[in-house]
Amino acid sequence: MNLTIMEGAYSVCRLAADESIPAWVSGSDFFAVTKTAEELSVVCQAGRVPAGVQSEAGWRLLKVEGPLDFSLVGILAALAGALAAAGISIFAISTYDTDYLLVQADKLAAATTVLRESGHIVRE
């Protein structure tokens, strides 16, 4: 797979399930919102998250170059498996066109090395 390291730092936020999607999310170059009965999860640029919001900061974003056909199988498994074997945790997001992986910023260099050693191309 071909991956690109996206600019900037990201945060993963947890809001109450009954909250609306906050306005501060929409200013981010990349953001993802997932709502369940238990929570509203938001991923966005770290600088957009207001003080007091429950969040985990310090994530970097890798984009799997797409678009990917829906008939393809094992893409996330191949990427996540290689990283898991190296002890690198991920937060995965899928869109209609492609997949994204978030890794902690202090693990980005190691993740890039692991992915390249697994045969993937990672662009800065």
Residue 29, pLDDT score: 85
**Residue ranges of the chain with pLDDT lower than 50?**
none
Q: What is the 3-state secondary structure (H, E, C) of 45-114?
A: EHHHCCCCCCEEEEEEEEEECCCCCCCCCCHHHHHHHHHHHCCCCCEEEECCCCEEEEEEHHHHHHHHHH
Please give the pLDDT value at position 74: 84
pLDDT at 27 (0 to 100): 81
Q: Which two tokens stand for residue 103?
A: 């890794």
Q: How many whole angstroms separate alpha carbon 4 and alpha carbon 2?
A: 7
pLDDT at 42: 97
Of 9, 106, 8, residue with least CA distance to 57 = 9
Tell me if residue 25 falls in helix, strand or coil. Answer: helix
Tens of pLDDT, residues 14-41: 999 999 999 999 888 899 999 999 999 9
Q: Which domains does the chain have, with CATH numbers?
A: 2-119 (3.30.2130.10)
83 CB burial (10 A radius; 0-12, 13-18, 19+): buried
Q: Which pLDDT belongs to residue 68?
A: 82
Q: What is the pLDDT of residue 65?
A: 87
Give the orientation angle of helix 75-85 with respect to helix 108-117, to 10 degrees: 120
